[in-house]
Every structure is written in structure tokens, then in C-alpha cells.
Homo-oligomer: A and B are copies of this chain.
Amino acid sequence: MDAGWSQDDIDFRQQVRDFTAQNLPVDIRDKVISGRPLQRADHMRWQDILAQKGWIAGFWPQKYGGCDWTPAQSYIFQEETTRAGAPWLLPFGVNYVGPVIYTYGTEAQKAQHLPGIVSNEVFWCQGYSEPNAGSDLARLSTRAERDGDSYVVNGSKIWTSMAHWADWIFALVRTDPDVKPQRGISFMLIDLNSPGVSVRPIRSIEGAHHLNQVFFDNVRVPAENLIGQENKGWTYAKFLLGHERVLSAEIGKAKRMLERLRGTAEARGLLDDASHRQRVNTLETDLLALEWTTLRMLDAVMDGSAPGFEASVLKLRGSTIVQAIAEYTVDVLGPDALAFDPARLEAETNDPAAEALRNMGIVSEFLFQRAPTIWGGSNEIQRNIIAKHALELG
């Protein structure tokens, strides 16, 4: 079954495949495939390799350091790299704040921030959610008050992935408390080395530390770090939310996880087990349906007819399928999944051949994969969006 890729796309796919095969470090690949948590250094090492090649920000315009990739190329790049076991290309700089800066930022902002993203020198994180503003982002209460040439920021952001590794955060802050919730929000870039910023680690259910709460205690932010107009932050945030689009299905990752599942089942002599076959068949069918749905939507994105809710469909199904594969891999592992020690998993990552650690990685990933149905707008919120925008239900 072939969707009918153009020869250029087929060539590009081969190029990405070859590059990844030659350049993805084996130890990183093994960590990713077995589901073990990555360290900052793991991400940076791979992203440096991509930066060297000029592929960190492939879909960006050339003048900002990108390659003018089409959506199809972005899709192919993501599918091929993740399928081969490359780490998730961290989206905070490349996919999120970067396009906001080159679309809405000043020339000075572009000059200051874009090169660091393209060269993989600056580590960004995203400050959206707050303890009382999760799904209902418009209720956020972190305040930024103008004081001379700066804003003074007070409040906190939560579920901030990798904030403890980051140099900068882009944040939604409230600059006008007296108007309708969405109207008084601004989009701001904040240096995490500023005095008054502190980061509290949050341990997740798999025992790893990737989430944080970031506190702002009278943090002074230069006024030139405001993106666009004051109180128009909601516009930029919405622009950003719609940006990932067809990448959110994570087809390559699901394929990679299905391959691991196959290996795990084969090692346990389950390939001919009827109930295993039934289960795998359902997962494969769901993935086939999602892959072709992604291709159809990619097609629509490329000819400009995409209706806008495609990201919701893909995110919802992609997260659900990946979650199901991760859980079922543990089931296949069976009693070998009983031993699990997050501390050991974090400390002893140097021996990629250790079976016990690989198994623990599978457990870790099963637990971690409860998150994607929650983050980025929970799947409940995605259903609301589909009901409202695709079905036009009140």
C-alpha cells in the first residue's frame, strides 16, 4: 500500500534514513528503543548532530536557518528518525517558540533568539499550565506588571517539562487582570537565570524527573522580551497550538514501538499465540488507520484545504495508540516486568545490553505513556474541539 509519494519525497526519505543510520549514536538509540528516560546530554548530543547537518529546524524558512521543508518532508523526517530510534526532537524551541518569534517577533528578537535554536545552543521550555489553569488556560494568573523598562513577573507555571535543563522559558502571563480572561494575556520570553526564578522538581509515576513547577518571585523581565503586542498573547499561543498538526500522530514512534513489541513477543514464543495475534492485529489496524488518516490530512495541509481540527484527531488517536502499545508490551513481558527500580534505571544507563534495564525501560515507558492523553490539551479537550469545530455542535 503506497500513498503515492513523489520521487523527491522518496529520495528525501532515503536521505533521512541513511543519515540516521550512520549518525544516531548506538547508546542513545538503545535507550530510546527500550524506553529508558533520556538525560539532557542525550538530547543535546543527538540534536547537535542534527544541527551540524542543518536539520534542527528543517521546516523553517531558509533565511532563519531552516530548509523550507514542506509538511510532507517534516512528516517524513519525523517518521524516519523516530522509527529508527532517535530521541524526540524537543519541540519547545524549534516547533513552538521559534515560529512565533519569526512570525510575530521584532528583528532584534529574531536576531537574538533564532540562531541559538538552529544551532542547538539554547534549551527552551514552555510555561503555559498553572495549578489552577490546566485545560482552562485562559484562567492563568501569573502576573506581569509593567515597571519602567521591565515587567515584574509573579506566579508559577506547572507541568513544565525539562525546565530544570532549560535556559529560557516562553510563558503566557497576565498583563491586564481587568478584561475578559483571554484578552489580558501576553506572550513573554524569560531567561531562567534571572533572579527570582526557582524550579521545583515533580516526580512522575514512573519515578523519573522531567516535570517541574517554575516559580517567579518578582522576576524582572526586560520589556523587549514581550512578543508582539501586550495583551495579544492568546493569538500567538493559538498560532503555536495549531503548528504541530500532522506531526502529533507520531506514526514513526508507534511503528518503532510495534517493532519492539514484536521482538519482545518473539523472545517469549508468543508469535503463534492466538490471543497475542488478536491483540497485535488490533494495534496494527489502528495504526494503519491512523497512518492513512495522517497522510490524508497532510495532503489537505499541503493544498491548503486542511480544516484546522486535524491536529485534534491525530493527537487523540496517536496518544491512545501509543499508550495501548506501551501497556501491551508490558503484558507481553509478563513477570519479567515485575522488577522495576527507577533509581537503578537512571544510574545504570551505560550498559545497553543489560536485559533487566531494557525491561525496566518498557515499564517506565508504559507508565510515562499515561501522559500524552493528558498533555497538550487532554483528549477530553480534543473531543470538545472536534465536537465544536468539526461537527458544529454548540
**Residues on A facing B (Cβ under 8 Å):** 274-275, 278
Top 3 closest A-B pairs, CB basis? A274-B274, A275-B278, A274-B275
Which residues of the other chain, B, contact A274 by a CB distance below 8 angstroms? 274-275, 278
Complex Cα gap A55–B49 (Å): 84
How far, in angstroms, from A344 to B232 measured CA to CA in the complex?
70
What are 6 A-B contacts defined by CB distance under 8 Å?
A274-B274, A274-B275, A274-B278, A275-B275, A275-B278, A278-B278
Residues from chain B with Cβ under 8 Å of A275 in the complex: 274-275, 278
* Secondary structure dominating the interface of A: helix
| Shortest Cβ gap from A204 to chain B (Å) | 28
Q: Tell me the number of copies of this protein.
A: 2
Q: How far is the CA of A275 from the CA of B275 in the complex (A)?
A: 7
Task: Please indicate the chain B residues that have their CB under 8 angstroms from the CB of A278 in the complex.
Answer: 274-275, 278
Shortest beta-carbon distance, A283 to chain B, in Å? 16
Q: How far is the CA of A291 from the CA of B275 in the complex (A)?
A: 27
Give, as a whole number of angstroms, the nearest-CB distance from A271 to chain B.
14
Smallest CB gap from A274: residue in B: B274
How many Å lie between the Cα of A253 and that of B328 in the bound state?
35
A139 to chain B, nearest CB (A): 20
In angstroms, Cα B275 to Cα A278, docked, is 8
A378 to chain B, nearest CB (A): 18
Q: CA–CA, A274 to B277, complex, Å?
A: 11
A224 CB, nearest partner CB in chain B, Å: 47
Q: How far is B274's CA from A60's CA once the two chains are assembled, in angstroms?
A: 52
Q: Please, how many angstroms separate the alpha-carbon atoms of A274 and B274 in the complex?
A: 6
Tell me, rounded to whole Å, the shortest Cβ–Cβ distance linking A261 to chain B: 19
Tell me the minimal C-beta distance from A278 to chain B in angstroms: 6
In the complex, which residue of chain B has the Cβ closest to the Cβ of A276?
B274
Q: Say how far A272's CB is from chain B's closest CB, in angstroms.
A: 11
CA distance A57 to B275 in the complex (A): 48
For A279, give the chain B residue with the smallest CB separation.
Answer: B278
Q: How far is the CA of A278 from the CA of B278 in the complex (A)?
A: 10
**A278 to B274 CA separation, bound complex (whole angstroms):** 10
Closest approach, in angstroms, between the C-beta of A108 and any C-beta of chain B? 51
Q: Give the complex CA separation of A278 and B277 in angstroms.
A: 12
With both chains docked as a complex, state the minimum distance between the C-beta of A157 and any C-beta of chain B, in angstroms: 30
Q: How far is the CA of A36 from the CA of B278 in the complex (A)?
A: 33
A223 → chain B closest CB, angstroms: 44
- Tell me how far the C-beta of A121 lies from the nearest C-beta in chain B, rounded to whole angstroms: 50
Least CB distance from A367 to B in Å reads 26
